[in-house]
């Protein structure tokens, strides 16, 4: 039997190029607007472009957390920076690339291989990354707590 889940989101226009986003399953609303790079865009408000990058980046995190738990990976922290590149492709704007730079802090050098394996599995299993046509670039960093960052 196939697994299906449905995620309900409503967007309601407020004024100008701004609206609110909400879900019946959640108790918070989020303002959303055209980004300031476009005509009549608004600074300081989440844009669809930011939300797309955030969806990919937060999916990586939640996938990492689940896989790390399954692998019994002990870590001190997880932080990931995501960047989306908007480009004109075949006459249409799109987020053509998303670059993710997750950073995992561990306490023991002998956990580095396991951390790398968990990060790679997390990238491959991220359902949001697997759902978008943007190229996803993955640059994980693993830090042993007393070390300077080293690219994985």
pLDDT digits (tens, 9 = 90+) for 25-69: 999 999 999 999 999 999 999 999 999 999 999 999 999 999 999
Residue among 147, 126, 132 at smallest CA distance from 65:
126
Q: pLDDT tens-digit profile of 127-137?
A: 999 999 999 99
Residue among 31, 10, 12, 13 at smallest CA distance from 22:
10
User: Average of pLDDT values for 75-104?
Assistant: 98
Q: Are 73 and 114 in contact (CB under 8 A)?
A: yes
Q: Are 30 and 45 in contact (CB under 8 A)?
A: no
Angle in degrees, CA 8, 5, 136, rounded to 5: 85
Q: pLDDT grade, residue 146 (50/70/90)?
A: confident
Q: pLDDT tens-digit profile of 22-34?
A: 999 999 999 999 9
pLDDT at 136: 98
pLDDT at 23: 97
């Amino acid at each position: 039997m196939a697994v299906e889940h449905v995620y309900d989101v409503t967007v309601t226009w407020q004024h100008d190029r701004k609206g609110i986003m909400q879900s019946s399953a959640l108790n918070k609303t989020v303002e959303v607007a055209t980004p300031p790079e476009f005509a009549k865009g608004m600074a300081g408000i989440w844009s669809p472009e930011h939300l797309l990058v955030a969806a990919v980046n937060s999916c990586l995190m939640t996938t990492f957390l689940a896989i790390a738990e399954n692998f019994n990976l002990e870590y001190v922290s997880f932080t990931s920076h995501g960047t989306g590149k908007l480009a004109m492709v075949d006459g249409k704007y799109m987020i053509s690339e998303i670059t993710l730079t997750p950073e995992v802090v561990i306490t023991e050098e002998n956990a580095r291989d396991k951390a790398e394996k968990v990060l790679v599995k997390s990238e491959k299993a991220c359902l949001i990354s697997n759902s978008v046509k943007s190229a996803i670039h993955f640059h994980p960093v693993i830090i042993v707590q007393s070390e300077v960052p080293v690219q994985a």
